[in-house]
Amino acid sequence: MSTVFDAEVEAQSKANYDEAAVKPYSLPDPLRTVEGREVTTPELWVKTRRPELLRLFESQVFGKTPTPAKPIVVTSEVVSEDSQALGGKAVRRDVTIRFGDGPNAPHMDLLLFLPKDASATHRAPAFLGLNFEGNHAVSNDPGVRVPTCWMRETKDGKIVDHKATEAGRGSVFDRWCVDKIVGRGYALATVCYNDIDPDYDDGFQNGVQPLFYRPGQTKPDPDQWGSIGAWAWGLSRALDYLETVPEVDGKKVAVMGHSRLGKTALWAGAQDQRFALVVSNNSGEGGAALSRRNYGEDVAHLNTSFPHWFCGNYKQYSGHEEKLPVDHHELLALIAPRPLIVSSAEEDRWADPRGEFLSAKAADPVYRLLGTDGLTLKEWPSPAEDSLSKGTLAYRYRPGKHDVLASDWDAYLNFADAHLKK
Ligand code: GCU
């Protein structure tokens, strides 16, 4: 019996990885309005072009966040606190954030580690990121709740659906490097993305979407959000909460994500300008990579393997990337002038590392128009363990696989020190 996993491996093996076979393409100009007006001033960008691009990404790519039929009452509760976490180096809080007040109101659990010396007068900058495996998997801390949400993982080449268990505690410890982050003076907040919308195609019956339906509506309209939009909304609600935490500097919250959650971090950062810094780790197609470049994954694959991630209107671009009214350098440009890292891994050809670099390069004119130094790299670099280019729009290209490594965190922390601590 073939599985979703087999289909995935087959799709990845059939993709184009030959630079010589990349067809010529031309990118939309981020500094020209749909009507053809050249954007020559920051004012024109802010008032006209940025909102126009945002609307195009909303209606054609990720879908817009609907206005709920009834305002959603969001409440939070600290379920447990440990002032001696990480061997006494951190304070850990396990928080429940509820959306709505009914008995079945969806909720997300937010796990927060604070450096021990953070206080209302010495507030810590923070990294916020969604995780795949559950909050209990991020560290070995025995006090963190095991999540109750649906989970999926790949075991021995097979997809397995299950609920998280104690066995997963600390399983992605080395992806999150909590000790390192807290040791460098940053808070870390994380939420399991399945709490916001379980990552499978159920016609949008679970997760937060139903909270937003009009009377009689049963699924999002073609221009309304899919799961990535919902996950990004959850990140903004997590930021709302962080803004209320006395020990966190709400004006210095970086949003970070890996792979599909890198796409999500970019979309959250593009929409919510309160995010002070954005990190895209191996986000690939539908994230930092250019869609018009036929290398690695394509839009058709996203739409068929993950039909719930993007909006309904995005389906029309399967096999027709050239018809997209935007490309993903413009998603990066929506983050300007805030600091942004686009990070690629050499063996992650599916995510098109060079396409991620070229995307950053094509976003550079917007960063420069807005008065920053933009991307200082001119050419796609060779991969290097300690790579991180200078500039407000930075690019990292390291050897190795699609993953988050301790050395990635070193680079992100150095970048955050340069931009958030100055
Ligand atoms: C698949 C998908 C990618 C995605 C990745 C992930 O490989 O094709 O677009 O980034 O899953 O999120 O793990």
Domain range summary for the chain, segments of one domain joined by +:
2-420
267, HSE (Cβ side, Cα atoms, 13 Å): 34
Locate all alpha helices (DSSP H) within 222-339, ordered by sequence.
227-242, 260-271, 299-305, 329-333
Q: Of 8, 231, 259, 328, which is best to mutate to test ligand 1, by the most ligand atoms within 8 angstroms of its C-beta?
A: 259
**Separation of alpha carbons 400 and 128, rounded Å:** 24
pLDDT tens for the chain, residues 1 to 422: 455 667 788 889 999 999 999 999 999 999 999 999 999 999 999 999 999 999 999 999 999 999 997 899 999 999 999 999 999 999 999 999 999 987 788 999 999 999 999 999 999 999 999 999 999 999 999 999 999 999 988 778 787 888 999 999 999 999 999 999 999 999 999 999 999 999 999 999 999 999 999 999 999 999 999 999 999 999 999 999 999 999 999 999 999 999 999 999 999 999 999 999 999 999 999 999 999 999 999 999 999 999 999 999 999 999 999 999 999 999 999 999 999 999 999 999 999 999 999 999 999 999 999 999 999 999 999 999 999 999 999 999 999 999 999 999 999 999 999 999 97
Residues with CB under 6 A from ligand 1: 259-260, 284-285, 297, 350
Structure tokens at 214: 């009009």
Look-up of token digits 């301790």 = 406
On whether the CB atoms of residues 140 and 173 are closer than 8 A, the answer is yes
In sequence order, the β-bridge partners of residue 280 are: 257, 342
Going from the Cα of 57 to the center of ligand 1, the distance in angstroms, rounded, reads 19
> Which is nearest to 199 in space by CA: 120, 259, 277, 110?
259
Residue 4 has a pLDDT of 61
Q: To the nearest 5 percent, what fractions of the chain are helix, strand and coil?
A: 35, 20, 45
Structure tokens at 325: 């009214």
Annotated active-site positions, please?
A: 259, 402
**Separation of alpha carbons 14 and 106, rounded Å:** 39
CATH topology of domain 2-420: Rossmann fold (3.40.50)
Number of residues assigned to the chain: 422
**Separation of alpha carbons 211 and 214, rounded Å:** 9
On whether the CB atoms of residues 389 and 339 are closer than 8 A, the answer is no
On whether the CB atoms of residues 113 and 87 are closer than 8 A, the answer is no
> Which is nearest to 190 in space by CA: 123, 142, 145?
145
Q: Of 4, 131, 350, 402, which is best to mutate to test ligand 1, by the most ligand atoms within 8 angstroms of its C-beta?
A: 350
Contacts of 13 (CB under 8 A, 6+ apart): none
> Which is nearest to 229 in space by CA: 203, 197, 254, 190?
197
Instruction: Give, using CA atoms, the residue closest to atom 13 of ligand 1.
Output: 259
> Which is nearest to 135 in space by CA: 238, 1, 32?
238
On whether the CB atoms of residues 243 and 250 are closer than 8 A, the answer is yes
Kindly give the number of the ligand 1 atom that is closest to the alpha carbon of 286.
9
Going from the Cα of 331 to the center of ligand 1, the distance in angstroms, rounded, reads 18
Residue 3 has a pLDDT of 56
Residue 1 has a pLDDT of 44
Contacts of 11 (CB under 8 A, 6+ apart): 297, 301, 305
Going from the Cα of 130 to the center of ligand 1, the distance in angstroms, rounded, reads 15
Going from the Cα of 195 to the center of ligand 1, the distance in angstroms, rounded, reads 19
CA angle 68, 71, 73 (to 5 degrees): 125
